[in-house]
Structure formats: C-alpha cells, structure tokens
C-alpha cells in the first residue's frame, strides 16, 4: 500500500474533493463517511502523510493522540455521551483507503461492517 496522489483523503485535505466537515485543527480533519455504517459515522484523519497505524513511532506519536482529542471534541459538539472508535490497520486488516483514519461511530454500530 502506498500513499498516492490519487488517495481520496489526500484530495479531501487539499480541497480538491468536497467533504461534510465536522472538525478541523492545524493537524486533523474530520468529516462524515460517504457510506455510513451507523447513525453517526465520521472519519478522523491527520493532515500529514501517514498510511497506517503500523507507522507509529516516537516522532509522530503526538498525531495519534490528536486523533483521540478530535474524537473527544466531536463527541462534545454532537452531544454524544458514548461512541465507538474503530481503526482498520493495513490491507490485511481491512483498510481500504491508504491514509491513516479513525472511524468515529455511534453506539448502534455493531462492529461487523467495517
């Protein structure tokens, strides 16, 4: 899996493709999933080039924490007291888009569709 010019999330970050934005900071963007697997289904992504969670290291560790900070802020914004976080890691882990992303899902997500 490689980070490509054509990576759909890279195009969203660059503003070349539209998204329904929920949260944005200097490092993070969050937007509604185009094919929701729960009543609320949001994708939280870093604006930097990280393909999978398997790339985590001492240098980029903070960006992983920022995904969770974004989830907290989104929950507050949407007044959700509980939610589910899901991450597919690598093609063999079911990851389709080669850009790190954390799925933020409402509690009706049953854990089987991603």
Active site residues: 101
- Confirm if 84 and 106 have CB atoms less than 8 A apart: yes
Query: Which residues bind to ligand 5GP, rule: CB under 6 A?
Result: 8, 19, 31-35, 43, 88, 94-97, 114
Q: Considering the complex, what minimum distance in angstroms separates the CB of residue 21 from ligand 5GP?
A: 10
How many residues appear in the chain? 114
Nearer to ligand 5GP, 85 or 96 (CB): 96
Contacts of 38 (CB under 8 A, 6+ apart): 84, 105, 106, 107, 108, 109
Closest residue by Cα to residue 26 from 58, 74, 70, 68: 70
Nearer to ligand 5GP, 31 or 83 (CB): 31
Quote the least distance from Cβ 94 to ligand 5GP, whole Å: 6
Distance CA 38, CA 112 (A): 11
> End-to-end distance of the chain based on CA atoms, in angstroms?
18
Task: Give the residue with the Cβ less far from ligand 5GP, 53 or 69.
Answer: 53
Minimum distance of ligand 5GP from residue 96's CB (angstroms) = 4
């Amino acid at each position: 899996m490689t980070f490509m010019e054509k990576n759909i999330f890279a195009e969203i970050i660059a503003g070349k493709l539209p998204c329904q934005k929920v949260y944005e900071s200097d490092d993070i963007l969050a937007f509604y999933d185009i094919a929701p697997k729960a009543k609320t289904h949001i994708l939280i992504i870093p604006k930097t080039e990280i393909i999978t969670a398997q790339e985590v290291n001492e240098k980029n560790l903070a960006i992983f924490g920022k995904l969770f900070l974004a989830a907290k802020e989104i929950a507050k914004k949407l007044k959700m007291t509980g939610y589910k976080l899901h991450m597919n890691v690598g093609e063999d882990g079911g990851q389709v888009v080669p850009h790190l992303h954390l799925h933020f899902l409402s509690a009706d997500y049953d854990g089987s569709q991603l």
